[in-house]
Structure formats: structure tokens, C-alpha cells
Amino acid sequence: MSKALGIPLAKAASRIMVGATIAELIEEGLLPASDGSRVPFDAPVAVKEAVLPFHRFRTREGIMVDSVLGPEMRSTGEVMGIDRDFPTAFAKSQLAAYGGMPLAGTVFVSVSDRDKRAIILPVLRLQQLGYEIAATEGTAEVLRRNGIGAREVLKFSDKPSPDASSVVELIHRGVVDVVVNTPSGRSAC
């Protein structure tokens, strides 16, 4: 928050703990005079992104280690993108966290029913850029009805089939390069 707001909050909190008042800190210029109820139109937008150490979730022998995250956030870092609008700030955070999108490959898409209409144009653009599209049954159906070729893959919870792979298998094999997923309230994929 301190970086996003440009306010030395830790210093202000320390001063308050030793007896300074907020009014004194405002008078000194350490805190802004605004009460925070109104955000200036030209205020920057800040987006924080966690950077998870996924490369550490498997041993050199290929054995999976416990990847359940807890409140400790062990070995987890974070980055922040700041800019004049949300899309640019978000893009900066993603670029800093993940190094940007791959220039080619397979995009796996599985979105909740409420998001199926909104995903059509972005996925069409990804296909136009040369990405292959893989999707779960419901999402693939909506994409195909809108002229977007999508290879259908199984959800992790679907019954295994010799003809089709689950998204988890594809991710483990390194076939999936980008995941676009909005959970429906049940399982995420």
C-alpha cells in the first residue's frame, strides 16, 4: 500500500505509536491532507501479483512436493504494476511476474457460464495470432458456435478416456502454454 499510495505508512505508524497525532503528521507533510474518501482522477492504479515458485513443486526425480499454499507464503514473492489505467497496470504486473506471454503455443480455456460470451473475442484474437485453442466441453461448444476451432479436452474430474486427455495431463506434459480459467463455484477446471 505504501508504494502504491506513495505514502511512508510504516514511518507514519511508528510516529503515531510514539505519540504523534495524525494532524501533526499531515501538518509536517508526512501524510496527505485527504481522508482517502475521494481518489483524484489522475491517481495511478496499482496491481499486485504473487510470484509462486512452481519450479520448486517437483523434485529433480519428478516427485511432486506439497504445493498447498498457506498463510506463510514461503518462497513466494510479489511484484506490482503501476500505471494510469487498470489494463496497463495489470499488463505490467503480469510481465514482471511471468515474463510475458509466449509468442506461440496452446491456450487452454475453461470459463464459467457467466463468462462464456465475454471470452469469445479475446479467444478469437488469440487464434488469429496463431495460438492453438484447447477447451473443456462447454467452453469448446460456445467457441465452435462462434467460428473458433477448439480442441476439446477433459476436465480433471471427467472420466478418463483413451481418446482424450485431461487438462491436468496436458499441463504436466508441457502441452499447455497459457491457461484462461474462471471458476464456476464448483471445481476450477
Distance of CA 79 to the CA centre of its chain: 12
Return the C-alpha cell found at 40.
483524484
Which structural domains are found in the chain, ordered by start? 1-37 (no CATH), 44-100 (no CATH), 106-181 (3.40.50.1380)
Please tell me the least confidently modeled range out of 6-10, 38-42, 94-98, 165-169: 38-42
| Consecutive H or E run containing 10 | helix 9-17
H helices within 70-115, ranges in order? Answer: 86-98
**Contact residues for 67 (Cβ-Cβ < 8 A; gap 6+):** 54, 57
Residue (of 166, 136, 172) closest to 54 by Cα position: 172
Task: Give the rounded percent of residues in the chain with a pLDDT score beyond 70.
Answer: 85
137-170 pLDDT tens trace = 999 999 999 999 999 998 888 887 777 788 888 8
Q: Which of 42-51, 109-118, 172-181 has the highest mean pLDDT?
A: 109-118
**CA distance to 20, 32, 34, 152, per residue, from 27 (Å):** 11, 9, 12, 63
pTM over 0.75: no
